[in-house]
Amino acid sequence: MRDLRPASWAELIDTLQQDSWNPELRRFRSPYIFRGQGTPAPLTTSLRRLSAHPRDIERHLVRAFRKYATGPLCAQDQHWSWLTLGQHHGLPTRLLDWSYSPLVALHFATSNERQYGEDGVVWMLNTARTNARLPPALQALLRREGSNVFTADMLAALGHAGDPDGLPFDAETGWLDDYEREKGEPFLLLLEPPSIDQRIVQQSALFALLSNPETAFGEWLSRPPEAARRVVVARELKWEIRDRLDQVGVNERTLFPDLGGLSLWLRRYYQQRPGPGPDPAPPPTPEEERNQQR
């Protein structure tokens, strides 16, 4: 896995846009998706942070969420739609948030000023290389659809017709495990969620999930050659990056288009930059914790 450390804003943008030219299409279409983090912490799903044995509780979480959910529900009664809805509302899942936009990833790498004393990181994931490690049937489905990512409808069509109530990741009946046994190793799926909320649209969001929720993302990504890059967001650049993102309209006001996002943006935008030396940081508000990328 390549680690890159740009020394300036211009070099950072150039690094995030590497390999964007597609000679077949004769267009600038990057093969990468992006995830930003304020610190170089390992890639870990909320489900794996909840339990060391995620398989034991995953199906209970999803079934209970589906049973008790009220308010805005899924337009399509599918497991994958419910899973993305749960992820969006804070349910621990095997999904990990990514974005098509490198600028959105930079936002999440610089959104928390309490982390400005540490380097951040933007992960770049090459979708072509990860899709090349899918089971043949899933690769064929993507080719038929002319897509690099799956939708909830595409994945629902792969379910077991004789077991409509079985979750796709049940150890006994789930087809993810069937394909994993066929492949002989875990594989990674990219899922583009339905536009259930304006935040998903504004953040150009999509999800990644592993067929085995107990496999660490970092460990899996270290196997395929050139599948992932880590771009270090140097701590000494974070204030400049933050100001430049505000100037081009990539901030809480646009990515979280509600009153909570507006308030977060105004609080941060008008905060005075601290002088030399460490400054005590206030504790995060509940809204701030909710809006940190899961």
* pLDDT greater than 80 at residue 286: no
pLDDT-based confidence at residue 280 (cuts at 50, 70, 90): very low
More confident residue, 66 or 146: 146
Q: How far apart are CA 255 and CA 155, in angstroms?
A: 27
> Mean pLDDT, to the nearest integer, of 15-30?
93
Give me the sign of the Cα torsion angle 212, 87, 116, 247.
positive
State residue 163 phi and psi, 5-degree precision. -140, 70
Q: Distance (Å, rounded) from C-alpha 288 to C-alpha 51?
A: 24
Q: For residue 198, is pLDDT > 80?
A: yes
Q: Give the residue, 224 or 118, on which the prediction is more confident.
A: 118
Nearest Cα residue to 237 out of 245, 248, 249, 226: 245
pLDDT at 75 over 80: no
What amino acid occupies position 44?
A: T
Among the ranges 34-43, 214-223, 285-294, which has the highest mean pLDDT value?
Answer: 34-43
pLDDT tens by residue, 234-276? 999 999 999 999 999 999 999 999 999 999 999 999 988 876 6
* pTM for this entry: 0.86
CA angle 110, 10, 227 (to 5 degrees): 70
> At residue 121, what are phi and psi to the nearest 5 degrees?
-155, 145
Provide the token pair at 238. Answer: 């974070």
| Per-residue model confidence as pLDDT tens digits over 34-62 | 999 999 999 999 999 998 888 888 888 98
Residue 177 near residue 171, CB atoms below 8 Å: yes
Q: Which residue, among 53, 151, 35, has the nearest Cα to 104 in the 3D structure?
A: 35
pLDDT number for residue 276: 63
Half-sphere exposure of residue 94: CA atoms within 13 angstroms, side-chain side: 27
Torsion of CA 158, 160, 164, 167, to 10 degrees: -80
CA dist 17 and 290 (Å) reads 29
How would DSSP label each residue in 225-271?
A: TTSEEEEEE-GGGHHHHHHHHHHTT-SHHHHS-SHHHHHHHHHHHTP
Q: What is the pLDDT of residue 74?
A: 57
- % the chain with pLDDT above 70: 85
Q: What is the pLDDT of residues 99-147, one digit of tens each?
A: 999 999 999 999 999 999 999 999 999 999 999 999 999 999 999 999 9
Q: Quick one: pLDDT band at residue 278, thresholds 50, 70, 90?
A: very low
Beta bridge partners of 28: 21
**Is residue 290 over pLDDT 60?**
no
The DSSP code for 3 is: E
Residue 124 to residue 231: CA distance in whole angstroms: 8
Grade residue 153 by pLDDT with cuts at 50, 70 and 90: confident
Where on the phi/psi map is residue 188: left (φ > 0), alpha (ψ -120 to 50), or beta? beta
Q: How far apart are CA 115 and CA 119, in angstroms?
A: 8
Q: What mean pLDDT is reported for the chain?
A: 86
